[in-house]
Amino acid sequence: MKELQKGKENYVFWLGLILCTVYLSYRYPLQINSAGTSPTYSDTPVMLQIGKFVLAGPLFAIAAVRGLGKTLTPRQWLVALGILFLSGYSLLKVFGDNDVKYLELSFWMLFPLALVLGGDAIRISSIDRYLRFLLIYALGSTAIQVALFIAFGRLPALAYEGTILIRFGGFLDDPNGFGALLFLLMGWSYGRFKGWTRFIILGSLVVSLLLTQSWTAIAFLVAVFFFWVLMVVRKRPWLAVPIICACALLALLVIRETPPSPQTVFENMLNAKQESIEGHSFSWSPWVSRWAKWTLVGDSTYNSYESWWASAPVNFGVPWLVVFIGLIAELIRSLRIGFVGCGSETRPVYSGFLLFGCYFVFGSLSLPFPTIFPINFLFFLFCFLEAFGRIQPEGSTLAHAQR
């Protein structure tokens, strides 16, 4: 990218971002992920699990040293101190229970903070080029996976032969994490392209998201669609009639009885994923009677649950969760202010960041996004770019207004 050539201060930022974006690309070609959830795959070797930390370590050190002299506003200091507290506490818990989830949470909050503070302002055109690369990489990898499955029966991760559960997760080979990236690209593409180009790209992203068979992502997509319809109808009331007619036709298509109807397909998918759906729920019954053991500092061992917001107090304690919620609220607030106050040239990028951030919060109801790499890294990186005023519009010699 041109940003690597423009200034020496930002090469660490871009190396870190590209590294974390493409690191898990080894999964699909090598069929390495988790043998427990992917019958045709083998478990990830320890060297590949720690490889991302080893590669990111030197970049983290360089960026951290460079960021020590940066001046911050009081609000930015609160964000930085909140991150230090949350990640530091998580890291301390590693010594009591050496579960890698503690390290995943701690490191992938600190690393993006160092990258953002250790570099100069990032031009909006550079972020736009990165998102263009991500779009091509995401759609291209999905197309390859689907083509190989149709032609040779090659299964991706989280796929079971002979069933309808064939979930495509793009270059991440992770349907849930890939769904989050698709929302980032949807928000950006909607503002970045016009006409038939926008229609084709958004349509391809929606199809890719449906292929993930992620119920959380599909539910959020439906919510976003209805919100978009409300906004469109408010500005152009005359569009209400064709939109209602289109929705009625879609409803008739779904409930039609001619086999194989979409309704039947939906029911088959629901039945096939029933066990998975139950695994994303959280029961408080075992924890209520033990509240004194986890309320303040969290349980002594990490308890792996899919629902992040429900399980976080059990694993880290209520005070930690309160700080975490406050931090996330401030980061989303920063993205929203940036979106409302940005110009037309920066709006596509902010649209992608904001939609991605909202899905990160929503999706964590049933998925542990704060511990899923690289979704956790990308969320904090994009939020920090705005929160610490590191986004530079084209033609400006100063960073974006600090908030």
Measured CA to CA, the distance from residue 307 to residue 369 in angstroms comes to 9
Amino acid 1: pLDDT: 43
* Residue 402 near residue 389, CB atoms below 8 Å: yes
Q: Which residue has the tokens 């990830």?
A: 44
Q: Would you tell me how many other CB atoms lie within 10 Å of the CB of residue 228?
A: 11
Gap between the Cα atoms of 27 and 170, Å rounded: 10
Query: Phi, psi at residue 240, to the nearest 5°?
Result: -60, -40
Phi–psi pair at 208, nearest 5 degrees: -60, -40
Element (H, E) at 73: none
Sign of the Cα pseudo-torsion (330, 226, 258, 146, in order):
negative
Report which DSSP code applies to 336: H
pLDDT tens digits, 249-297: 666 665 655 455 454 555 555 555 555 555 555 566 677 777 778 889 8
pTM here is 0.88
> Which pLDDT belongs to residue 243?
64
Predicted pLDDT at 400: 44
Report how far residue 167's alpha carbon sits from residue 183's, in angstroms, rounded to the nearest whole number.
17
Residue type present at position 75: R
CA distance linking residue 14 with residue 7, whole number of Å? 11
Token pair 């190396």 is found at: 15
Neighbours of 205 (CB within 10 A): 24
Dihedral sign, CA of 56, 61, 62, 67? positive
Written as tens digits, the pLDDT of the chain (403 aa) is: 444 444 456 899 999 999 999 999 999 999 998 877 788 889 989 999 999 999 999 999 999 999 887 888 999 999 999 999 999 999 888 887 778 889 999 999 999 999 999 988 999 999 999 999 999 999 999 999 999 999 999 999 888 887 778 899 999 999 999 999 999 999 999 999 999 999 999 999 999 999 999 999 999 999 998 888 777 777 767 666 666 676 666 666 656 554 554 545 555 555 555 555 555 555 666 777 777 788 898 888 888 888 899 899 999 999 999 999 999 999 999 999 999 988 888 999 999 999 999 999 999 999 999 999 999 999 999 999 999 999 988 765 544 444 4
**Residue in 3, 277, 264 with CA at minimum distance from that of residue 122:** 3
Torsion of CA 323, 326, 327, 331, to 10 degrees: 170
The DSSP symbol for 354 reads H
Half-sphere exposure of 265 (CA within 13 A, CB side): 13
pLDDT value for 255: 60
Q: With beta carbons less than 8 A apart as the criterion, state whether 72 and 80 touch.
A: yes
Query: Which pLDDT value is given to residue 322?
Result: 96
DSSP letter string over 129-181?
A: HHHHHHHHHHHHHHHHHHHHHHHH----SSB-TTSS-B---GGGT-HHHHHHH
105 within 8 A of 312, measured Cβ to Cβ? no
Task: Give dist(CA 357, CA 363) in Å, integer.
Answer: 10
Q: Which two tokens stand for residue 183?
A: 């929302």
